[in-house]
A and B are shown apart, each in its own frame.
Chain A
Amino acid sequence: MKKSNLAAGAEQQYFQRFGPQFRIQHGFLFSSTIGLIITGVPLWCLGRPEYGWSQDVVAFFGSIEIIRFVHRVCAAVLVLVSVYHLLYTFLTREGRREFIELLPRVKDVADVTRNSLYFLGLSKQRPRFGRYAYYEKFDYWAVYWGCVIMIGTGLTLWFPGVAAKVMPWLTYELAAEVHADEAVLATLALLVWHFYNVHFNPSHFPGTLLWWHGRISRDEMLHDHPLEYEKLMSGKNETAKPD
């Protein structure tokens, strides 16, 4: 996030939670990921008799070469955005700050416990989160882990000859197995967990546009990130100022 600005609205105050850098990266990330899922699942199912529908998907694309090409184009986008994110993380002030905010802390473990107790009715107070709640950190690091694995194994499948020389221990079968397994985990996590948190959650249904404009309302801020709100309001964060 470039800056955390407090925006003044007529009825509601808004904070600029994510800057354009973050949102553009997220845009490339989710569009390439959706493309990879749409093309990757039929590629994996192809040739397995129990998934005859995959032939129809291939026919829709035209041929296996085309669907494989689209998959690789999406993969290339994912690789580029991942590399860019690394550079962004280490070479920009905003990136470094966000990265530090996203690092897991002991408080996150405590928050998991407190939130679980809250869900069960054993605690009346919901844990108070900072800039990133533990489940948002989980989202981030799941993507981090997923990208490392998917890109590593995907490149092995894309360039098996090179991979055999550079990483002989990573056999094609091992790469294919990990690629498919991690894809299943990532897809399920995306569709179930991430979609719940940003789309199907009753508070956000049918979806938040945070990813588009990067703004968050004061109410949302107070509910989801009260510690960050207090931090902003106390003026400890030099960059935080009402708009």
Chain B
Amino acid sequence: MRRILILTGILCLPLLVRPWRAAAAEPEQKMLGDQSDGSRAHPIHLIPLMTEEGEKVSPDDDPLLPFSTSKTCGACHSYSTVTKGWHFNAGVAGLGIEAHGRVGQPWILADARTGIQIPISYRPWPGAFRPEQVGLSRLLFLKIFGRHIPGGGIGEQPGEEPSQIMRSMVSGKLEANCLSCHDADPGHNQAEYAGQVVRENFRWASAATCSFATVTGSARDMPDTYDPMMPEPPDDPKLVAPAIAYRAGAFDSEKRVLLNIERESAANRCYFCHSNMYIDGNDAEKWSSDEDIHLTAGLTCVDCHRNGIDHNIIRGYEGEADVSANRLSATSSCKGCHLPGEPGAEPTAGRLGAPVPEHLGLPPVHFERLTCTACHSGPWPGEKTYLTKTSMAHRLGTVGVNKSAEVLPHVLAPVFAKQDDGKIAPHKLIWPAFWADMKDANVTPIGFDAVRQTVGKVMARHELPASGDWPALSDENIVEALKALAAEQKIQGKAVYISGGSIYSLSDSGRLEKKMDHPAARPYMWPIAHDVRPAAQALGARRCEDCHSPDAPFFFGRVSVDTPVLSRAGASIIMNELIGASRPTYAGVSLFFKWLIIVVMALLILHILGDLFRRFVSKVTANKPAGTRAGKPGDGRKQ
């Protein structure tokens, strides 16, 4: 018996040890959907919808509530892990600066009435202000820019002030909208999300994008005391409380809904937030311009921009591997796919059929000083930069967009400039324009509300262009606005207006002064990655002079100095100022040769004409009677 007990104990030992080993190997508990079982087939998402309270949604519920992605999707996927990913973590506290990587596209607060366009971001990118620095509360930021924010992060953070907290109770959280990227239902309507955000229907926004749900009403119109769980009709009959209706038949008998979820998002989903429109006068329309060569070749965005459950998506720039935890970041950049790996290593060159570039005859110095995108990405550079529209900056894809080419903000591209790593890359650019308080050399933007109140009042008599372009600001307008700011706002230093690379302020005598070269006035630039052009359409594919000639846009294209200030209308700078290349040397040489050619050829031609003239005179003289001839008889023979 004793032997049997000992034997049983030995046999059971592995069972006791196994859970311990499992816990040691997997410190974090993986949920059902966090890890693939290896199947490449689509998992079917016939699942119950859950409210933010964790209750299952039933079509018979009263009140009928929107489903919550954190509870519905989060039932099988680690929502907290997902929302640490790139698209959600901009406003997450405690992230190191390296987590925000290379400078990217900011949000741009633009207002034609007050002459402002300010780059803002919750990411600590140089040149961009944090929203609170320009007087945008979390709620106001979300109302303006939430249309193209996929929720999570800043969307779920409570306000700091009691009034904001109260409003958060009414509007709900702007949870990570998993459906923005993963809903493959052709009826998915991301533009509806934008509409809900404007109405502060944060709680309802994700559900409203589904083809089986309809959201009406506006949380924005509801009082702070409104409780969506126990809704009461608004006092004003014209106001409509937010409500959701699910399409009949959307739920099966077990109150489950079929969500057409796909892991690999289609490019169309990415395009809602990542579209670009380069207004070069010819091929701005989608039907008349080419797509990125990778998409044309059959790839999708997520073939390169990959991520796991942590949603730490690869941005795809050179050097990202140094700061990214995504183990594929090194092999998913341009070089990662197109250039051979280390000798003897697992072959990585030509991943996904990527051609290995020959770059025949291209001096290696180009690879040291240029990014791949410098030659291969963005629109073909012209004599002058193009006005450019982006989804994030111009609300593309949402309802009621001003389709005018001149609508603010004015993003310019392509601008060739040096990145932090010293390489030249194509960029998009905006010239910051804002009213600020300057104390010593420090510039602090004046809050948006204050500017609207004071500067807006001064500028109110200006008729704004229907195109959404800047109104023309005269020096007198700026002087008046600066005086009003100094009088009405709490300015600690001196009220200034920054625009087009200059700082405008009032002198002691009340005259308008302009200073340049202040860091706060410098343009904000972020690199262009797409659309990628094929090798045959790369800069330099035809000839070196694509870039290396005195009028080549790469070095000497004009970058418009965008500003509403009338006296600076039409101003521009030359691209080489942003690259750090010199122009004066050979501009001077060109001028020297121009005059050398003119002077030398003029002298030579004069000499020839003089010779011909003398020959003619000598011939005429020789034909005269002997007594009237001048000179010696033989002089004209060879002249």
Contact = CB atoms under 8 A, between A and B. Distances in A.
A243 interface: no
A173 B586 contact: yes
B593 A164 contact: no
A147 interface: no
A194 to B, nearest CB: 10
Interface string B594-609: 1011001100110110
A189 B604 CA distance: 8
Interface stretch (A32-40, A86-94, A118-126, A232-240): A118-126
Contact of B639 (A135, A196, A203): A203
Interface stretch (B16-24, B84-92, B472-480, B629-637): B629-637
B619 to A, nearest CB: 9
15 contacts: A47-B546, A64-B542, A121-B617, A124-B635, A160-B365, A172-B548, A173-B586, A177-B589, A178-B586, A185-B601, A189-B600, A189-B601, A192-B601, A202-B615, A203-B637
A37 B617 CA distance: 37
Contact of B635 (A126, A135, A176, A224): A126
A107 interface: no
Interface string A93-123: 0000000000000000000000110111100
Interface string B47-79: 000000000000000000000000000000000
A188 B548 contact: no
A118 B618 CA distance: 11
A185 B604 CA distance: 12
A119 B638 contact: no
A160 B363 contact: yes
Contact of B607 (A121, A135, A177): A135
A230 interface: no
Contacts of A135: 607
Interface string A40-67: 0001101100000000000000001000
Contacts, number: 107
Interface string A174-195: 1011100110110011001100
Interface size class for chain B? 35 or more
Contact of B590 (A116, A177, A223): A177
A178 B585 CA distance: 11
Contact of B542 (A44, A46, A119, A172): A46
Contact of B363 (A126, A161, A171, A184): A161
Contact of B596 (A47, A121, A185, A219): A185
Given A46-B545, A193-B604, 12 more contacts: A47-B545, A160-B544, A161-B364, A171-B581, A173-B549, A176-B549, A176-B550, A177-B593, A185-B596, A188-B601, A192-B601, A203-B638
Contacts of A176: 544-545, 548-550
B610 A196 contact: no
Nearest to B552: A173
Contacts of A223: 637-638
B30 interface: no
A176 B632 CA distance: 52
Contact of B597 (A171, A172, A188): A188
Contacts of A184: 593, 597
B638 A219 contact: yes
Given A64-B543, A181-B590, A201-B611, A164 B363 contact: yes
Nearest to B611: A119
B462 interface: no
A171 B589 CA distance: 12
A172 B605 CA distance: 33
A155 interface: no
Contacts of A220: 638
B515 interface: no
B130 to A, nearest CB: 41
A192 B586 contact: no
A157 interface: yes
Given A181-B593, A185-B600, A202-B615, A120 B610 contact: yes
Nearest to B576: A173
Interface string A151-171: 000000100110010000001
Nearest to B631: A124
A44 B630 CA distance: 51
Q: Of A116, A157, A160, A164, which is in contact with the most chain B CB atoms at under 10 Å from its CB?
A: A160
Interface string B542-562: 111110111010010000000
B243 to A, nearest CB: 61
Given A161-B364, A184-B597, A47 B543 contact: yes
Q: Of B363, B617, B638, which is in contact with the most chain A CB atoms at under 10 Å from its CB?
A: B638
Contacts of A46: 542-543, 545
Contact of B637 (A44, A64, A177, A219): A219
B613 interface: yes
Nearest to A118: B614
Contacts of B615: 202
Contacts of A171: 581-582, 585-586
Contacts of B581: 171, 173
B443 to A, nearest CB: 36
Contact of A181 (B545, B597, B604, B637): B597
A44 B612 CA distance: 34
Contacts of A189: 600-601, 604
Nearest to A164: B365
Contacts of B597: 181, 184-185, 188
A182 B630 CA distance: 43
Contacts of A120: 610
A54 to B, nearest CB: 11
